[in-house]
Amino acid sequence: MNFIKNMKMKTAGTVMALVLLAAAVCIVAISLYVVNDVGRIGKTWERFDKGVAAKTDLLSELRGALGYDGVIHHFTNYVLYGGDEYIVRVAERVERARKAIDAYEALGANAREQAALADIRGTVARYEEAFEATVAMVRSGAGPGQIGRATRIDDAAALAAMDELLQELAGARRAAAASVYDSVDDVKIFGLRSALVVAGLLFIVIVSFLWGNRKWLVAPMLDLSEAMRLLAEGAGDSEVPGVDRVDELGDMARAVLVFKDGMRRNRELQESQEREQEAKEQRSLNIDLLVRQFDANATDVLETVTSAASDLADTAQAMSATAERAGEQAASAAAASNQTTANVETVATAAEELTASIEEIGRQVVQAASIAGNAVHEAETTSSMVSGLAGSAQKIGDVVNLINDIAG
C-alpha cells in the first residue's frame, strides 16, 4: 500500500474522481438495463394490447354485429315489421361481422381460434342467405310464422365458437399478464440487486475513502502536528514522522525537519557559547589567581632583593673599613721604612715585620677585592632580577588588561 502512502493529493483526487466515475458508469449501465427491461415490459404490453386486447375488442365488435342491434336483431325486426331500413341495417351488420372476423384472423389466430372463426363465419353466411330468402318471402306476402319456420337458423355453433374465443383470449390474457408480471418481477429483482450492488460499492468506496483518509492523511497530519508542538516546546530530540513520504505531507515533514535541524544548530551554538563563556570565566579566575600568586611572589622577591641590597650595603661598608685599615697600615709601613735607614738591624727587624705586614695587607686587599667583586656581581644580578621582574610585571599587566577586554 506504499503507492497510496506516496500518492500526491492531486493524484488521489484524480483516482477518487475515476472511482466515482466508474460508479456512475455502473449506475448508468444498470439504469440502461432497467430501461431495457422496462422496454421489454412495454413490448409485452404492446403485444397484449395489439393481440389479446385487440382481439377482445374485435370479439366484442363481432358480438355486437351479430347480437343486439346486430344481424339477428334486425333480421327479426324485418320479419316482424318489414321496412327497407332493416334490410340496410342487416347488410351493414353482416359486413361489420365479416370485417371483425378478417381483422381477428389478421392479428394471428391459433388452430382453435381459426376453427371458432370458421364456425362464426359460416353462421354469418347462413344468416345472410336466410335474410335474402326472407326479403323475397316478405315481398311475396308471407307471414312471420311461415318465414320463421322457413328461415330458422341454428346459431349454437357460433355461440360455442364465441365462448371458445373468449376462453382462448382469457388464456392469452393470463399468459400475457404472467409475462408482464414476470418481466416486472425480473426488473424489480434486478433493480433490487443492482441497488444493493451499487449501495455496496458506494459503501465500500466511502468506507475505503474514510479509512484511507484517516490512515494516510489525518493520522499523519496529527502526528506531524504533535511533532511540531513538541518542537515548539523545545523538545529538539523528537522524531519528525513522514519524511520518507513523497506527497505533500512528506514535503511538510521535510520542512519541519529543516526547522528541527535549525533549532538543533542554534542549541548547539548556544551551548558552545555557554561553554566558551564558562571557559573565559575560568581563565579569568585562573589569571586572577596567577596575578595574586605573582604579586605574592614579587613581594617575596622584592623583600629578598631589599634584604640582599641591605647586606650588600653592609658588605660595602665593611670593605670600605678594611680599605681604610689597609691604608693606615700602609702609612705605618712607610713610616717604618723611613726609620730603618738609621738602624740596619732595626731595619731588618722592621723589614721582616714589614714583609709580614705587607703580606697580611696583600692578603686582606685580595680578600677585599674578591668581596668587592662578589658584591658587584650580586648587585648586577640583583639589578637584572629586578629589571626582569619589572618587565614580567608589565607583561602580566598587559595580559590582564587584554583578558579583561576579552572577558568584557
Look up the pTM and report it.
Answer: 0.41
* CATH number belonging to domain 278-407: 1.10.287
Assigned C-alpha cell, 302: 622584592
pLDDT higher at 89 or 216: 89
Q: For residues 155 and 123, is the Cβ–Cβ distance under 8 A?
A: yes
Per-range mean pLDDT, top range of 19-33, 53-67, 282-296, 385-399: 53-67
- 380 exposure class (CB count in 10 Å sphere: 0-12, 13-18, 19+): exposed
Q: What is the pLDDT of residues 297-312, one digit of tens each?
A: 757 756 775 675 577 5
**Grid cell 363465419 in the structure block, residue:** 121
The overall average pLDDT reported for the chain is: 76
Could you give the residue ranges of the DSSP H alpha helices within 214-247? 219-232
Cα 33 → chain centroid: 39
Grid coordinates 353482416 are at which residue? 94
pLDDT reading at 203 higher than 60: yes
Domain 2-206 adopts which CATH fold?
Four Helix Bundle (Hemerythrin (Met), subunit A) (1.20.120)
CA 106 to chain centre: 72
Domain ranges, ordered by start, for the chain: 2-206, 278-407
Q: How far apart are CA 294 and CA 194, in angstroms?
A: 103
Give tens-digit pLDDT for 30-86.
777 666 766 666 666 566 566 788 888 888 888 888 877 778 888 888 888 878 888
**234: which 3 cell numbers?**
523545545
DSSP state for residue 234 in the 8-state scheme: T
For residue 233, give the 3-state DSSP assignment: coil
